[in-house]
Structure 1
Amino acid sequence: MQYVTPTSLLTKNESHRLEKLRDYHILDTHSEDTFDKIALMVTQVFNCPSAFISFIDEDRIFIKSNLSQMTFNEAKRKDSLSSLAILQDDVLVFNDTMNVPEILDNPYVLGGNGVRFFAAVPLKTPEGYNVGTISVIDSRPREVTPLQIDMMKTLSKIVIDKLENRLRYRKTIESQIDLMNIALHEIKNPLASIKLANEIITKDGTKIPNMTEMIKSSVGRIQAKLSDLLKQSEMEETQIVLSIEEIDLKELFTRLQNSFDLLAARKNQSIIFELPDNPPPFFADRAKISDILHNLLSNAIKYSYHGATIMVMAAEVNGNIQIRVKDNGQGLDENDVDRLFTKFAKLSSKPTGKETSNGLGLSITKSFVELHNGTIEAISPGKDQGTSFIVTLPLRYEKEPSLSEFSS
C-alpha cells in the first residue's frame, strides 16, 4: 500500500494536544532510567540498534530517551518521521524508506547511512491526543511481525500510564496547596472581626455583650471552615461536595451587616443593604454563599476610600437570584478585568487602609459560584469610577448528571 504524504503536520486537535503535552511537564527534562529501559526493550524486541521516546512540541520534537549514536535530544518537527506517526492512530512502519518516494528527501533518510527502516507507535493520552511516539530505526531494511507491533503498543501504554500517574500526583499536591491557601484566606475576615471586637472591649466595657456574640460567631466560622477543608483534603480527588439547604436572604443579609458594620466604620464607610419586600427563598450551600459574599464585601471595604458608600442588593431576575455588590472606589482598568479571577492576581487597585491581599479571594469566589452553576462578572466604568460585582445563582441548585448516570 502506497504511503500518502499528509498535507499538514498539524493534528486535528492540535491546540488541545499541545495543552495536554505541557500538562505532563515532560519537555526539556533530563533522561530517566524508566524511559531508557522502555526504549531498551524496544531495541531488544526489534533487534535494532536505535530506539527513541519522543514528544512532539509545536515546532520541534523533544527526545526524552535516546538509545542511538545520535548526540542531540531535539530536532525540527518538519524533519522528524515521528511527526508523521502522530497523524495516525496505528503504528507507522517504513520497512524500506527507499521504497517510499514521498520521504526520500527527508534529511534523516538521505545519505548512505541514513534511516532505511522506521517504525513508530503514537503515545496516545486517555483523551485521545497523540503527544509523542516510541520509535525504532535501522540503517538497513527490515520486516516487522505482529508480535513486535503488539509489544510496541503495550510499551506505549506503559509510558502514558507513567505520565498520567505523575500528573495525578502533581495535581494532588497542587490541590493540597490550594486548600491551605484557601484556609489562610478564609479565616482572615473572622480573625479581623475578633481583633476588632477585642479592641472595642478594651476601650468600652459596655460593649462586651455585643462583642462577645461577634467573637463567638467568628470563632464558629473559623472552626467550620477548617473542618470543611480537612474533610475536603481527605476526599479522593479533593472534590468539593455542596450541602444544599434553603437560604433566607433577610437572615443572610442581617448576618453580613453584623459582621461588617464595624469594619466599615473604621474607614467611615457605610454599607446599605437592599432587598425586595418578599425576597424569594433559594437553595444553595449556606457556607459557600456566605463565603462568596464575605469575600466580595471584604474587598469592597478594602479597596474603597474612606467615607465611601457600599451597596449590597438582591433581586429575582429571570428565575435566578442576582446579588450585586457595588462600591464607588478605585474601579478597574482593562488589564485588571483580564486578570481579575485568576489566582494570585495583582491588580492596579491598592487597599486604602493598610490591609493585606494575597490575590486569592476572587479566584475562590468564582469557583464557589461556578460550583452552584452560577456566574459572576465585574463591571467598572474605569479607574476611580467604582466597581460592581454581580453574582447570578439559580433559585434551586440542581446537580449536573454524571456520565455514569447517563449510562445507567
Structure 2
Amino acid sequence: MKTQQIPEQLIPDNDTQRLKILYQYEILDTPPETDFDTIAQLAAQIFNTTDAFVTFVDKDQVFYKAKVGSLEGERIARENDLCALCISTNDVAIFHDTHQFPELLKAPYVNIKDGIRFYAAAPIKTADGFILGAVCVASEQPRQTVSDTQIEMLKLLSKVVMEKLDTRLVNRKIVRAYDDRLHRLAHDMKNPVTSISLYAQLLGTRVMDPEKIKDMSSRIEKAAKGIEKNLDQLLTNARSENSGTSLVHEQIWIGGLLDQLRQSFELTLASKNQTLIITPAIPEVAIAADEIRIMDILSNLLGNAVKYSDPGTKIYISAEVSSENQIILEFRDQGQGLTETDQEKLFIKFARLSSTPTAREKSYGLGLSIVKMLAESHKGNVWATSEGKGKGSSFFVSFPISQTGE
C-alpha cells in the first residue's frame, strides 16, 4: 500500500476463504514461541522502535502471536486494530504520523497519551496471495522518513514468518500421518490379540483332546502371523516418504473369507452368547484384493456388530451381486441402532456416537474410518442404514467383482 493511505475496503472480498486458510495453520491462540518473539525483536531493532508485533487477523479480532513493548493482552477487536489494515493490501503499510488520519484516531492505541504515532506493517502472505496477518512496528514518535532497506527487511521478516508457518504445517501433517499409522496398527492388532488371549485361556483351563489342541494352536499361530504382517507393513510404509496403505492384490473368493471370519470370531461370539448366521446362498464370486486388508474390513464390521449388540442376540451376514457387477455384503445386527446424527458422522475418525459397547468392551473411534479408507482403496464403498435407536443396524460394504484369472 502507498504511504499514508487508508484502504477503501477494510474487509476483503475473499475474507471467508482467507480465514479458512488461516485456520489450517492452527496458529491462533497459541502460546508465545521463541522464533516469533525473535522476529518481533528484530523488527523493533531494524526500525529502532519501542514496539513490534507479529499478528494474525481473525474474523472479529487480531491475535498477537509475538510482541515487543507495553501492549497488553493478546487480542484486540479487528475494527480497532491497525494491523487489520494490511489484510486489504498487498504491500507494506506505512503511516509516518497516525494523527494525520482522522480514521485512525478511533483506534484505542492511537488516541491515548503516548499512543502510536508511527506505524509500519508488512503483510504475512501465503503463496496463493492470501494475507494472514502482519509483522508490525510502532512508535509513540512520528517519523519523517523510512529507508528502503528498513522496508525490505520488514518484508523479509514477514516472509520468514510465512516460511515458519508452512514448516509447522508440514511437520504437523507428518506427525499426524505417523499418528494415524500407529492408531491403525493398534486397531488392526486388537482382534488377533484378543483371539490369542481367549485361546490361551481355554488351553490353560480345559482338558482337551489332541485334535482340539492342535486346532487351537493353529488358530493362535494364524493370529500371531497376522500381527507380524501388520508390523512388517508398518515398517515397509515407514521406509517410504509418501507411504500409504500398500496393497497386494490377488484373487479372493468371498465364501472363503466369510469362513475365515466365522472361525476367528467363534470365541468372541460365544463369550456373549451371540449367534452368527451367514446366509447359505453366498454367491460364488471372487474379488481382486489384498486378503489381509479385506479381512480387516470384515473383522471391523463384524466386531462392531458384536460389540454394540446385547448378549444373546443374532447377527446376520448376507451377500448379493448388484447390477453394477459388485458384490455387496450386509452385516445386520439386533443392536442399539443409529440416530440420524450418528449416520452423518459414522465414518469420521474419533466421532462420538450414541451407542456404547454392551459388555464394557473398549472403543477407540477408529474402526469405521479405517473401513472406509480400506474399502475405497479397493474401489469399493461402505454405508449403513438403521430405522432408529433400538432397532438395529445394517452395514454394507461393496467391492468390484473380478473375472476369474484376472
Q: Which TM class, normalised by the smaller chain length?
A: 0.7 to 0.9
In structure 2, stretches of 5+ residues that fail to align are none
**Match among 356, 376, 392 for residue 350 of structure 1:** 356
Structure 2 match to 1:404 = none
Structure 1 match to 2:49 = 48
1:379 matched to 2:385? The reply is yes
Structure 2 match to 1:226 = 231
Q: Is the 8 A contact 1:247 1:282 kept in 2?
A: yes
Number of aligned positions between the proteins: 392
CA distance 1:355–1:65, change in 2 (3 Å) = closer
- Residues 248-277 of structure 1: per-residue CA shift (max 9 Å, x gap): 323322322222244324414123146653
**Match among 19, 26, 44 for residue 23 of structure 2:** 19
Structure 2 match to 1:401 = none
Q: Is the 8 A contact 1:94 1:117 kept in 2?
A: yes
**Match among 253, 274, 279 for residue 248 of structure 1:** 253
Q: Is the 8 A contact 1:61 1:75 kept in 2?
A: yes
CA distance 1:271–1:125, change in 2 (3 Å) = farther
**Match among 186, 189, 195 for residue 187 of structure 1:** 189
What is the distance in 1 between the residues matched to 2:236 and 2:246? Answer: 10
Q: Is the 8 A contact 1:269 1:307 kept in 2?
A: yes
Structure 1 match to 2:394 = 388
What is the distance in 1 between the residues matched to 2:158 and 2:348? Answer: 36
What is the distance in 2 between the residues matched to 1:176 and 1:4? Answer: 45
SS at match of 1:121: strand
Structure 2 match to 1:405 = none
What is the distance in 1 between the residues matched to 2:123 and 2:378? Answer: 39
After TM superposition, give the deviation of residue 389 of structure 1 in Å. 1.4
- Residues 264-311 of structure 1: per-residue CA shift (max 9 Å, x gap): 2441412314665342x4333332222111111111122223333322
Structure 2 match to 1:6 = 9
What is the distance in 1 between the residues matched to 2:375 and 2:400? Answer: 10
SS at match of 2:15: coil
After TM superposition, give the deviation of residue 357 of structure 1 in Å. 2.7
- Normalising by structure 2, we get a TM-score of 0.83
Percent sequence identity is: 36
After TM superposition, give the deviation of residue 114 of structure 1 in Å. 3.9
**Match among 302, 310, 313 for residue 308 of structure 1:** 313
**Match among 269, 279, 284 for residue 275 of structure 2:** 269
CA distance 1:103–1:315, change in 2 (3 Å) = farther
1:89 matched to 2:93? The reply is no
SS at match of 1:385: coil
After TM superposition, give the deviation of residue 99 of structure 1 in Å. 5.0
Structure 2 match to 1:80 = 81
- Residues 47-77 of structure 1: per-residue CA shift (max 9 Å, x gap): 4332211122332222122222333332111
What is the distance in 1 between the residues matched to 2:240 and 2:264? Answer: 31
After TM superposition, give the deviation of residue 207 of structure 1 in Å. 1.6
Q: Is the 8 A contact 1:376 1:391 kept in 2?
A: yes
1:38 matched to 2:39? The reply is yes
SS at match of 2:227: helix
Give 1:124's aligned amino acid. Answer: K
- Residues 116-154 of structure 1: per-residue CA shift (max 9 Å, x gap): 432222223456543221012233144444433332222
CA distance 1:199–1:58, change in 2 (3 Å) = same
RMSD, aligned CA: 3.0
After TM superposition, give the deviation of residue 237 of structure 1 in Å. 5.7
Deviates more, 1:311-320 or 1:210-219: 311-320
- Normalising by structure 1, we get a TM-score of 0.83
After TM superposition, give the deviation of residue 362 of structure 1 in Å. 2.1
CA distance 1:338–1:42, change in 2 (3 Å) = same
Structure 2 match to 1:364 = 370
SS at match of 1:236: coil
What is the distance in 1 between the residues matched to 2:152 and 2:326? Answer: 55
- Residues 312-343 of structure 1: per-residue CA shift (max 9 Å, x gap): 23334335443322112221234433553344
What is the distance in 1 between the residues matched to 2:396 and 2:310? Answer: 21
In structure 1, stretches of 5+ residues that fail to align are 397-408
- Residues 81-114 of structure 1: per-residue CA shift (max 9 Å, x gap): 2112123333233344455455443333335744
CA distance 1:126–1:370, change in 2 (3 Å) = farther
Q: Is the 8 A contact 2:19 2:59 kept in 1?
A: no
After TM superposition, give the deviation of residue 394 of structure 1 in Å. 5.0
Q: Is the 8 A contact 1:296 1:389 kept in 2?
A: yes
Q: Is the 8 A contact 2:37 2:66 kept in 1?
A: yes
- Residues 180-234 of structure 1: per-residue CA shift (max 9 Å, x gap): 3333322221122223334555343242333233222211111111221233344
What is the distance in 1 between the residues matched to 2:87 and 2:339? Answer: 43
Q: Is the 8 A contact 1:276 1:314 kept in 2?
A: yes
Deviates more, 1:140-149 or 1:56-65: 140-149
CA distance 1:324–1:94, change in 2 (3 Å) = farther
Q: Is the 8 A contact 2:95 2:118 kept in 1?
A: yes
SS at match of 1:324: strand
